[in-house]
Amino acid sequence: MKVAFQGERGAYSEEAIIAHWGEAAEPLPRPYLPDVFDAVEKGYADLGLVAVENSIQGSIVRTFDLLNERTLRAQGETVLKIVHCLIANPGVEAGDVKRVYSHPQALGQSREYLERRGLEPVGVYDTAGSVKMIKEQGLMDAAAIASQRAAEVFDMKVLIRGIETHNENYTRFLVIGGEEPEPTGRDKTSLAFVVEHRPGTLVKALNSFVKRRINLCKIESRPLLGKPWEYIFFIDFHGHMKDPEVDEALKELRGQTRYIKHLGSYPRFND
């Protein structure tokens, strides 16, 4: 089974694939998030794994946009504990480092360390990709933030391990594909919707869940393109589309919204 992920070998997404599926999965690297969706939609991969949320930095908003734009659905989730390492070329010491390269999420998750040391953060497309880049360019005054595994993949030196701002640092990933799992009794559903831009419309929409005691575990807003200061809302809630109470809530919700899209119902990670 091929599973596409964003980044280079050694990326946290690849680590999450290995942790989730073990030897049953063959990780397939892709440079950018849309490429992961493309790989699954075009049949190059059976599934994709995409980061959706971090416990320090919050949501990966591009993932929400792509789930809304594309035909693939979320059909599973997994969580990985993130331990960031400062990685450099052999021969480089911590005091030699002036610039640090990594994905913007990793830089944000390590902001306190970088600011305390007066290091210049430079964003690139991927954590493991930043390790690959400083190796290929032979940079001796720079380092990268990535996983221990990325250092091993590229035969690089770990200067410091555990530079994240808080050690309770976790990233949630969604499995994306073309199918929808059957209800398990312990599920989560992701949904996108738009309400009329009037007072009380969002409250009425969310009340469809509240009155049925359906647990809303996440709400996120993104700008609605072409409608300045209006928003599309993304929610996660406990339950499956096929659960009777969820079906009732969604029938009511449709009457409160002008756009709604089911992004997936799937077994939820132990939370």
Domains and CATH numbers, the chain: 2-82+170-177 (3.40.190.10), 85-161 (3.40.190.10), 187-267 (3.30.70.260)
Q: pTM of the predicted model, to two decimals?
A: 0.91
Tell me the pLDDT tens digit for each residue of 50-75.
999 999 889 998 999 999 999 999 99
Q: What percent of the chain has pLDDT over 70?
A: 100
Let me know if 127 is a catalytic residue: no
Write down the catalytic residue from 173, 193, 209, 233.
173
Let me know if 171 is a catalytic residue: yes
Please state, in angstroms and as integers, the Cα–Cα distance from residue 180 to each residue in 37, 55, 88, 189, 251, following that order: 16, 26, 43, 11, 20
- Rounded distance between C-alpha atoms, residue 230 and residue 263, angstroms: 20
Tell me the pLDDT tens digit for each residue of 197-237.
899 999 999 999 999 999 999 999 999 988 899 999 999 99
Write down the catalytic residue from 63, 127, 171, 189.
171
In whole numbers, what is the pLDDT of the chain averaged over residues?
95
